[in-house]
Structure formats: C-alpha cells, structure tokens
C-alpha cells in the first residue's frame, strides 16, 4: 500500500517540475484580478493596459531561470559522480597469453583445366 503511494507521489513530483510554466500560467489566470490590482508594477498607469502581464512575465522568467539552475546543478552532480574517488590500482602480469601449438591442416584446392570464359568479340 505504501509503495504505490510513494510511486505516485514521485511521478507527480517529476511531472510538476516539467510543467512549472503551466502552473505559473494557471495561477495567473486564477488570480488575475488580485494581481492586476495589488501586484502589478503598472497599476498606477491604467493607460498601459498591463493588467498584471508584467508580473506574469516576471514569474515566467523566474521559473525559466530556476529550471536552468536545476539543470546545471544536475549536470554538475552527474559530472562529480563520474570522477573516481580513489586511485585506480594497476597490476602488470608477466605472462598474459599462453602459447599453444596449432595443428597444421593444409588442404589443396582441386585443379581444373577449364577454359576461361571470354565474351565474343565484336567486329
């Protein structure tokens, strides 16, 4: 019972990271009136007809920067895992290959005195 719950929770967590822009857009659409009246940078200039779009664009840029930073951080972690933590031990063996005698099984091809086919001459 606990394992499927954890699996679904992890799937939702991964999906939410992928759809961060969608969540920002949904939050903007749901709270458009509040953002336009209280959070908009241009609320004192109604002739610009911003209606909170400046705030929305700022949040989109923040989400993109966060995704880029997360991607860089994950790449750094992958790079650090690829480095070896300890020195590799190298051993040299004096006898690596054992010499074996291969039996000599020679055979001859059959000899045939057949004429070589030549195409007919033109002319």
Q: Distances from the Cα of 31 to the Cαs of 42, 47, 120, in angstroms?
A: 17, 21, 92
pLDDT tens digits for range 8-51: 888 888 777 777 778 888 888 888 888 888 888 777 777 877 88
Structural tokens at position 55: 């705030």
pLDDT above 60: residue 81? no
Looking at residue 80, its pLDDT comes to 61
Looking at residue 84, its pLDDT comes to 60
Check residue 86 and report its DSSP letter: S
pTM for the full predicted model: 0.47
Rounded to the nearest 5 degrees, what angle is found at the Cα of 85, between the Cα atoms of 81 and 88?
120
For the chain, the domains span 20-82
Confidence of residue 83 (pLDDT cuts 50, 70, 90): low
pLDDT above 80: residue 121? yes
């Amino acid at each position: 019972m606990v394992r499927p719950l954890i699996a679904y929770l992890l799937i939702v967590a991964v999906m939410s990271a992928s759809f961060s822009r969608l969540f920002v857009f949904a939050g903007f659409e749901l709270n458009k009136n509040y953002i336009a009246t209280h959070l908009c940078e241009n609320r004192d200039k109604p002739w610009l007809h911003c209606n909170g779009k400046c705030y929305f664009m700022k949040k989109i840029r923040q989400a993109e920067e966060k995704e880029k930073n997360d991607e860089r951080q994950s790449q750094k972690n992958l790079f650090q895992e690829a480095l070896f933590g300890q020195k590799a031990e190298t051993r040299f063996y004096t006898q690596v290959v054992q010499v074996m005698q291969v039996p000599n099984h020679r055979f001859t091809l059959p000899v045939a005195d057949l004429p070589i086919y030549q195409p007919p001459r033109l002319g």
